[in-house]
Chain A
Amino acid sequence: MNDVYKIISDTTMTYKQQLLSLARLAEGSEINLDLSDEYYNAKNDSVICDLNEGNAPYRPRYIIPDYSVLMNKGCDFLQLDAPTDLWEACNSLLIMYSHVPSITSFPVYLGGFDDLLEPFVTDLSDAEIEKCLRLFLLNIDRTLTDSFVHANIGPKDSRVGRIVLKLSEQMQLAIPNITLKYDEELTSDEFANLAITCMLKTAKPSFANHKMFVSEWSENYSIASCYNGLKIGGGGYTLPRLRMYELSQKAIDINDFMNNVLPKYTKIMCEFMDARVKFIVEESAFFKSNFLVTEKFLDINNFTGMFGMVGLNECVNNLLNIKDHSLGYGNNEKADEIGVEIMEKLSQLVADHKAPYCSGFNDQYRLHAQVGIDSDGREDSPGARIRVGNEPEIFEHIVHSGKFHKYFPTGIGDIFKFEETWLNTPNALLDIIKGAFKMNMRYFSGYLDSNDVVRVTGYLVKKSELYKLDSNKQSLNNVSIFGKGARDTGCALDRKVEKNVSTN
């Protein structure tokens, strides 16, 4: 069936979803990028995946505006003065959100809610703050209908932060995704416990290892989209992925993989990224005329390209000829060692490539553990994650994650599903998170087995929305359809529930 016709006649898509899909089609059809045959071969072999970014990129994939500019100065283009109270501040933000592009055309970053709004609440009662933020969150959920929309809170306790948590719990909304920047020394246990209770009930916020991000990015970092670490006032130009399982099939043995295959394809991918980045900066209008750039909400020096990868698990097991995944990566010291060696090598190869327009990042791209897309099936697990169903008990799982998270400054995370009793003991879960961050885990997500809002591979969906799609009804949320794919083909919701497991 003709692709355009397929979209137009699809009764499960909303009008806006159809419009965006049609635009994506146009973006993909026009051949503007000058790419090598080697790239096209790699793409045809499914070794490199461009995540449907298309051939005519007209904006960076992820855009992280510095909203403090809006709070302090307002915006000429949007004819907004600097806000003087909480209502004006929320209104200005909502107006601006609808003008922030991204790969999905929804803003992937909404700002640090507490940093932006706390200055306006000093003289307000909790009831008024709550009323305002309730409308603010509701507006976001119903207009920015995409679970990659992401807000930050923390690391410090705040009235705004507490009310955002309280409302998230009450309202049970999938949007926005929220991250708490957590640092044992800056975040009070009390605030962290509130966040944990909220996380168990609504699958958000997730916890970001603040110390680790600050040491790499300075204070000026954000968590956007799924769990992507990016600079505020900047973003990520592009995110293609190496599909490591398919890559491993190109090698005769481990040596060949390390010394020939991995360097060859890393180079092809880096060159592909160079072409995209140059096109976005030099050809498309974005960096020349978009108000976000001209009014300094963005600075090109804060952008980098994200070198994505999936399927480390299956790659390692294939290289070691391990057929039974329960005995491989994540459950096997040798396999984990090979995994680390691959990551060391890949990091070095990517760092050695001189990337254009990444001057704020030593002219380097940064690695990203991509969460997978529904068409990945079960060949490539997300990023460096252990296959769903083969996770060891939580303690070993975290230690394993700690070995790999450091390689992915632009994002990696693990998700843990907990049984009901943990809701009564947020302190116990906080002990685990504190330990996890000491062991160099970068990003920790959790949810309760029995929730409606669940985390699929990085983004949130409502199970009830998935059921709607099952019965061919429309879902307002743009990513429910991905969630359905991940659930049906990737078993993403079958991950292990953390009980008290014995390992004697």
Chain B
Amino acid sequence: MMNEKHVISMLVDNEPGVLSRVAGLFSGRGYNIESLCVAETIDPDVSRITLVTRADPPILEQIEKQLNKLINVNKLRDLSGPESVQREMAMICVQARANNRAEILRIVDIFRCKVVDVGIEHYIIEVTGDEGKLMALINLLKPMGIKKIARTGVIALKREPG
């Protein structure tokens, strides 16, 4: 069966050690993590962890059960489908010399992203979107020379109030 990508979102107690419980579970049981995002929610006692993993259905079932079993994990959901909004942000430092500066700006414009830093030989571009958009942008910028990149990993919310 296919190892499908899954976005798992969970509310956890905002206390030290919780992240290592989650990460340790993945490394100890040989599950994979593609990306992982953690930050406080509006309740300072609660953090949200969003992680992306690839697994076949039985392993995914185990991952979700094992995460739920952690005492500090409160509520867990799979936010992979179209009923959820998924976004990721990246900052891309691209080589920008006279010959391609204009081209880069045009791409930035088309993708509705922003140049957040300008140097004699580089731009840093900030982009937000789903994975498809990020990959499309990265592919277009590659020929110009991407010097470095930082990605946040996916965060997601269900399309519903509360």
Whether A and B are associated in the same complex: the answer reads no
Interface residues of A (CB under 8 A from B): none
